[in-house]
Amino acid sequence: MFAPPVNRLITELARLPGVGQRTAQRLAFHILRVPDDQALPLADAIREVKETVGECEVCFNLATEATCRICQDERREAHVICVVEEPGDVIPVERTNEFRGRYHVLGGALSPMDGVDPEDLHVSELLSRVVGNGVRELVIATNATTTGEATALYLADAVRERAPEVAVTRLASGLPVGSDLEYADEITLGRALRSRVAL
Amino acid sequence: MFAPPVNRLITELARLPGVGQRTAQRLAFHILRVPDDQALPLADAIREVKETVGECEVCFNLATEATCRICQDERREAHVICVVEEPGDVIPVERTNEFRGRYHVLGGALSPMDGVDPEDLHVSELLSRVVGNGVRELVIATNATTTGEATALYLADAVRERAPEVAVTRLASGLPVGSDLEYADEITLGRALRSRVAL
């Protein structure tokens, strides 16, 4: 129905997560409508990130050099490592301004059903960083999902076995700050109840 | 917070319609995560449409040559012209398989409040096509919105003045096929009532 270049653009846009055929069409027509100097910078930006952005060789966060800016920052505490699933998860933790340690990006979560095993993630690299390097605490900040929890439990076991001196902690589960009890799902509320703290 | 190339990509993605800062971040991390051969085709496709796709010099539909494929198709009736706002609006009309005429893409709808006047749209080109060229009917298929309706009324007047022999028609308004009366808004229902047809 469309000219081949338009079809190709729609196909490529529809590959993006959360972008269906309709949205891809709408985005394609937007790109067609705007002047070149509003559309081509997106093409250039895609090419640029793929050419210049890679993985930090220490923590697997995004990096434009061999190591990322956090690993390069001497002021960051080397004895606390926060483990996250994806590079994008570093951002929300950084935004809290509560964490001054380093990171380790796993590259996903364990999910044997989907064929994601420990060797598909940066688990062995994490264990190498943790064992005998003066690390005192590992904060596991994987998602509060089934796979995220399974990954947390797996890592806790693996670290305890190889480096029992390292404290392994997990982000607290509970009611989101500012939320109404009325709207909390029963699993979150149950967890919040079990994890209740003394005032 | 991100490396400059990542920030640039997020900024460019956030310029797309309906893409906020959060979605742009999510898309950027997706692009960063996938292999080059899944990300670069999007960059190439954007560049390709901007380089190869222009406007049909007759009807202002998308075209990879001087005129679009519909204008080039001799089997399409030249005496009926369907007027739409945007190139993307040609597609839903084509999908109906009910229209065998030609198109005219206005490039938007009249909206004096937003500074969109007749001279900002392809109105004069439409009048040139309609006057003295054997056109028998103009089907106005602008959107059923305030600006779309205003544009339809404006065009109907303009055509009646210059080419009174041309029939000007408008897409019917009414209940969407398959919809429940219960869920129809009162304006649509009122319109459907006023436009009732004999059975």
CATH number of the CATH domain containing A156: 3.40.1360.10
Domain annotation covers residue A176 = no
B15 touches chain A (CB under 8 A): yes
Domain annotation covers residue B197 = no
Contact A45, B14 (CB under 8 A): no
Query: Which residues, in sequence order, are CB contacts of B173 under 8 Å at separation 6+?
Result: B144, B188, B191, B192, B195
What's the total number of domains in chain A?
A: 2
Token output for A150: 């399974």
- Interchain contact, B25 vs A91, CB within 8 Å: yes
Domain annotation covers residue A136 = yes
Verify that A89 and A150 share a domain, yes or no: yes
Domain annotation covers residue A85 = yes
Verify that B36 and B119 share a domain, yes or no: no
Q: How confident is the model at residue A91 (pLDDT cuts 50, 70, 90)?
A: confident
Measured in angstroms, the CA of B66 and the nearest CA of chain A are apart by 13
Verify that B24 and B108 share a domain, yes or no: no
Domain annotation covers residue A104 = yes
Partners of residue A8 in chain B, C-beta under 8 Å: 41, 45, 48-49
Taking residues A126-145, report their average pLDDT.
91
- The position carrying tokens 């690390």 is A135
- Model pLDDT, residue A199: 65
Residue B28 vs residues A1, B12, B20: alpha-carbon distances, Å: 29, 10, 12
Q: Could you say which residues from 64 to 93 on chain B have a Cβ atom under 8 Å away from some Cβ of chain A?
A: 64, 69, 86-88, 91
Verify that B166 and B82 share a domain, yes or no: yes
Partners of residue B18 in chain A, C-beta under 8 Å: 23, 26
The CATH number for B8's domain is 1.10.8.420
- Model pLDDT, residue B185: 81
Measured in angstroms, the CA of A185 and the nearest CA of chain B are apart by 24
Residue A86: what residue type?
E
- Interchain contact, B32 vs A87, CB within 8 Å: yes
Verify that A45 and A96 share a domain, yes or no: no
- Position A88 pLDDT exceeds 70: yes
pTM, rounded to two decimals: 0.75
Verify that A110 and A33 share a domain, yes or no: no
- Model pLDDT, residue A196: 77
Token output for A29: 């027509």
- Model pLDDT, residue B199: 65
Verify that B25 and B87 share a domain, yes or no: no
Verify that B96 and B11 share a domain, yes or no: no
- A3, A28, A29 ranked by CB distance to B64: nearest: A3
Verify that A151 and A99 share a domain, yes or no: yes
Partners of residue A15 in chain B, C-beta under 8 Å: 38, 42
Measured in angstroms, the CA of A166 and the nearest CA of chain B are apart by 29
Verify that A38 and A81 share a domain, yes or no: no
Token output for A63: 């990096």
- B4, B30, B40 ranked by CB distance to A50: nearest: B40
Which residue, A37, A52, A67, sits at the end of a domain?
A52
- Interchain contact, B46 vs A52, CB within 8 Å: no
Measured in angstroms, the CA of B103 and the nearest CA of chain A are apart by 14
pLDDT in tens, B149-186: 999 999 999 999 999 999 999 888 887 877 777 777 88
- Interchain contact, B41 vs A8, CB within 8 Å: yes
CB atoms within 10 A of CB B157: 11
Partners of residue B41 in chain A, C-beta under 8 Å: 8, 12
Average confidence score pLDDT of chain B: 91
Domain annotation covers residue B68 = no
Full residue range of the structural domain in which residue B23 is found:
4-52
Verify that B109 and B142 share a domain, yes or no: yes
pLDDT above 90 as % of chain B: 70
Domain annotation covers residue B69 = no
pLDDT in tens, A67-81: 999 999 999 999 999
- Position A53 pLDDT exceeds 70: yes
pLDDT in tens, A153-189: 999 999 999 999 999 998 888 878 777 777 778 888 8
Verify that B17 and B81 share a domain, yes or no: no
Which of B25, B44, B46, B120 to probe the A interface (max A CBs under 10 A)? Answer: B46
- Model pLDDT, residue A11: 95
- Position B89 pLDDT exceeds 80: yes
- Model pLDDT, residue A190: 79
Q: How confident is the model at residue B133 (pLDDT cuts 50, 70, 90)?
A: confident
- Model pLDDT, residue A198: 67
Partners of residue B103 in chain A, C-beta under 8 Å: none
Q: How confident is the model at residue A194 (pLDDT cuts 50, 70, 90)?
A: confident
Domain annotation covers residue B193 = no
